Copies of this chain bind each other. A is one copy, B any other.
C-alpha cells in the first residue's frame, strides 16, 4: 500500500536526490485532499532550508503502524529527515519509512489522514492540519490570507 504503482518523482535539492513515490491513480472524484501535496511541499521546503522535518501523527487512526511504546497522549512525533527516515515515501495515501527507535529498526506506515502536522524542529514553522482528514482540505491561509470559493485578493493581515 505504501507505493501502489512504481511511479516516483525525483526531487533534486542541495545536490541530493530524494524520492517521493507519488502512487497516483486516475482520479475518481474531484475533491482529492490537498494534504499530501502540502506535506510534500513543506518537507521539501524544510530540507532545502537545512531544517529537520517532523510529522505529528494521531496514533489512534486505523492503519497507523508506529512503535506504540513511543506514543504519548495518542500522538507520536516522527523525524522524517533524510538521516532519520530511510526510504521515505510520501504518497497521496500514506507516509512510510524505516527508522530506528531506541536502536531498533521499525517500518513506519501512517495514512495521510493521520498526519496532524509537519514542522521543522529548528524553527517550529510548518503546517497543522485539522483532525478530520478524510475530507478534503477546505481552507488554506498563507501569510494570513485566506482562500475563498472564488478568489478575492483582499489581504487579511
Stretch in A64-72, A80-88, A138-146 touching the partner: A138-146
The reply to whether A144 and B151 contact each other, CB–CB distance below 8 Å, is no
- A89 on the B face (CB < 8 A): no
Residue of B nearest to A31 (CB): B49
Chain A residues touching B, majority SS:
loop
- A1 on the B face (CB < 8 A): no
Residue of B nearest to A32 (CB): B49
Known: A9-B11, A10-B9, A148-B124. A45 touches B37 (CB 8 A): yes
- Which of A13, A122, A132 is packed against the most chain B CB atoms within 10 Å? A13
Q: Tell me, in angstroms, the Cα distance from A131 to B13 when the chains sit together.
A: 27
